[in-house]
């Protein structure tokens, strides 16, 4: 890194741990009636968890984690409503790849502005550069997105911690 010093914030594992602490804090504050928005924090957490990590070991591990094994291990299900990419979505890597694109290009939509997890569904969409039509779309409830974020943090800690 030219001109920048290495610090814990640049480390995927520490970033994931800080993401967990921030998410826990927002949830605790919401439970006390504070004017915070858990769904917004989940979206922010997702950005940090899927856009930031670049460790080769983690990326290799996500390629090995199939959706079938995720289901067996209690991960929440992303309801993939469109999957016309070159390769079908079959691994955690595939999900993260499409989520990264959706987040980076502002293609994340919320069904409601409610701060209650039970009231919100999130839709992520991806498309190829230069194309007008989406080629991948998935939806997940905010409650399941919460679980996905926590499971992904656990996954990061397990693989590179």
- Per-residue pLDDT of the chain in tens (161 residues, 90 and over written 9): 445 444 565 577 888 888 999 999 999 999 999 999 999 999 989 887 887 666 677 788 899 999 999 999 999 999 999 999 788 999 999 999 999 999 989 999 999 999 889 999 999 999 988 888 999 999 999 999 999 999 999 998 988 87
- Structural domain boundaries, residue 14: 9-160
pLDDT for the residue 4: 42
For residue 124, tell me if it sits in a domain.
yes
For residue 3, tell me if it sits in a domain.
no
d(CA 63, CA 85): 16
For residue 4, tell me if it sits in a domain.
no
CB 53 within 8 A of CB 59: yes
Count of structural domains, the chain: 1
For residue 2, tell me if it sits in a domain.
no
pTM for this model (two decimals): 0.87
């Amino acid at each position: 890194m030219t001109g920048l010093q290495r610090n814990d914030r640049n480390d995927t594992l520490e970033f994931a741990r800080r993401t967990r602490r921030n998410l826990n804090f927002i949830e605790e504050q919401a439970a006390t009636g504070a004017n915070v928005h858990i769904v917004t924090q989940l979206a922010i957490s997702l950005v940090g968890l899927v856009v930031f990590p670049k460790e080769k070991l983690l990326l290799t591990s996500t390629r090995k984690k199939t959706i079938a094994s995720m289901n067996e291990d209690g991960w929440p299900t992303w309801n993939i409503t469109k999957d016309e990419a070159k390769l079908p979505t079959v691994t955690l890597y595939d999900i993260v790849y499409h989520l990264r694109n959706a987040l980076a290009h502002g293609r994340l939509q919320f069904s409601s502005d409610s701060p209650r997890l039970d009231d919100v569904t999130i839709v992520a969409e991806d498309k190829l550069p230069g194309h007008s039509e989406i080629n991948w779309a998935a939806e997940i409830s905010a409650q399941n997105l919460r679980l996905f974020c926590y499971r992904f943090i656990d996954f990061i800690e397990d693989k590179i911690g």
